[in-house]
Amino acid sequence: MNQFTKRFRFFRFPSLSGFTGSPLDEGSHKIMNNFDFKPQDTAAWKRLKTHANITTINVVDELTSDRKRVEDFSVQCGQLRLDFSKNLITREIWQDLLALVYESPFDKHREAMFTGQRINTSEDRQVLHTLLRAEMADDIDQLYKGMIGIVRAQLDMVEVFSKKIRSGSWIGVNGEAITDVVNIGIGGSALGPKLACEALVEYSQSVPRIHFISNVDGAALNATLAKLDANKTLIVVASKTFTTQETLLNSTTAANWFEQEIGVKNSQYSAHFVAITANSANAIAYGINPRHILEFEEWVGGRFSLWSSIGFSLVVSIGIDNFKQLLAGAREMDLHFKTSPINKNMPVALALMNIWYCNFMKFQTHAVIPYCERLNSLPSYLQQLEMESNGKSVSRGGETLEYETCGIIWGQTGTNGQHAFFQLLHQGTFCAPVDFIAAINDSTSELLHHKVLLRNMLAQGSALIKGQNSTADAPHCYYSGNKPSNTILMDSLTPHNLGSLIALYEHKVFVQGSIWSINSFDQWGVELGKSMAQKLLNTEESNNSFDASTSALFDYINDRTL
């Protein structure tokens, strides 16, 4: 028996959507209303711990003996299909995972998010990114219909700006049309638009070309600007607060470049700069022309901001109609998440698989492997979305957590990954669950190439779960098998389906945060490093603010700086 097989004692738990039984007891309802909900105190959590500690499950046997497993452990939403039947769960475990949802405040938290309550408690903010893709006809309170009106007005401005650039009527200071747009932002102000631009390159115009700069390393910015004509370049400064150090430094360097190249002073105010922000006052103070500012609302979180004016560079690339299809795809997933039964709810299923592995099987990483080169940036995007959202150690009630939250997200496109780290996935000493993601049809690839690509993906998922026995003369050929994976398929990589895919992972994050009793919408862990960096920038010599190692390194660098 290999180290990843487990035996399980089975329990029947009543009352959840998708299976029969009696209602939840009064105590469970009290837990659901408790802000300081502790998942480890629920009956479902305790049963799941028992499952994980008792022995054996063989997924191949489960697939063979249970003819309805694939059907029941698959979910459809529009043109997206999730098959989670290759996971290390039985029907009994699945029931207890669902029970965990029902014993948690999830239902009330979901309602609170969609109705605009301030669920980001540490910052006292609403979490309304779903409103960015909502329709007036949706079942939304009248107050929020007014907010949709504001969002629509902001999108209208994005449309006006983008059409001028795409048509060649946005003219630089010397009378030449813009051919290159440089998006300067970091985190959510770059990762989402960059992912979508790469994924939807099939829908883009050849001109204007879109470039992304996020890292404060000047080499990246200088290398990009060196290829461009300043007369034909537009800088898009994307920053929610317009105080982000990396973004403002890169923007100032770009402004200096305009002066050096074409003699434009204070170029931030010229037609060569557009700002995207929730703080227009700071953008104006920085020098941006008020007529060149695109706004979005304060309640739009950075890593959930693609759907707002932050998506401007994407709109320039693919056009407003395709961007609206992206929004429509996200909305389709929103409605699915909001209305589908828990046992047939795609974000819930993805979240519960991760909770099972993180909290009970103690698997600490999760691989995301898109079998699509255009989704090359998806693992990086999901790293921020998941780890910045749920990488927390304190509950919503301010208590130190006794259990793990989130895991390390990593990955790369297939088939490249097969010739890099798949050796570890198949024969390594620990288990990393995998999300395989692919488009069934791809008009950008030759049919034979795409056929080979998809067959490779299916083969990897099967090999991970089936494994291979060794022989006496070839023990090195042993594959333990029983390595779990999800498979997410879409008919094709369209703006609509990409919107659904991204929204799927957004809601997965929400489900996990609700069950783990954490605030998924702040990121205080990022702030300490920022403040320490600022202290180092403000001093010319080491001091007692830093540890001895950092002070010594600081002095070493200063001594050798040319």
Give me the catalytic one of 26, 68, 402, 419: 419
In the beta sheet, which residues pair with residue 451? none
Look up residue 16 and give its two tokens: 């959840």
Give me the catalytic one of 46, 227, 530, 535: 530
Annotation marks residue 259 as catalytic:
no
Q: Can you say whether the dihedral through the CA atoms of 24, 25, 31, 33 is positive or negative? A: positive
Distance CA 140, CA 147 (A): 10
Look up residue 558 and give its two tokens: 């200063």
Look up residue 142 and give its two tokens: 């009248």
Between β-strands 74-77 and 80-83, what pairing exists: parallel, antiparallel or unpaired?
antiparallel
Q: Is 141 left (phi over 0), alpha (psi -120 to 50) or beta?
A: beta
- Quick count: other Cβ atoms within 10 Å of Cβ 351? 26
Look at residues 302, 363, 328, 376 and name the one whose alpha carbon lies nearest to residue 494: 328
Helix ranges, 126-244 (H): 142-167, 191-199, 218-225
Annotation marks residue 419 as catalytic:
yes
Look up residue 315 and give its two tokens: 């709109």
Give me the catalytic one of 297, 386, 388, 506: 388
Question: In whole angstroms, what separates CA 207 from the centre of its chain?
Answer: 28
Distance CA 186, CA 242 (A): 11
Distance CA 372, CA 438 (A): 6
Question: In whole angstroms, what separates CA 489 from the centre of its chain?
Answer: 17
In the beta sheet, which residues pair with residue 490? 80, 439
Between β-strands 80-83 and 485-492, what pairing exists: parallel, antiparallel or unpaired?
antiparallel
Between β-strands 209-213 and 180-184, what pairing exists: parallel, antiparallel or unpaired?
parallel
Distance CA 555, CA 313 (A): 41
Show Cβ contacts of residue 451 under 8 Å, excluding neighbours closer than 6 positions. none
Q: Can you say whether the dihedral through the CA atoms of 445, 446, 449, 451 is positive or negative? A: positive
Annotation marks residue 194 as catalytic:
no
Which residues belong to the active site? 388, 419, 530
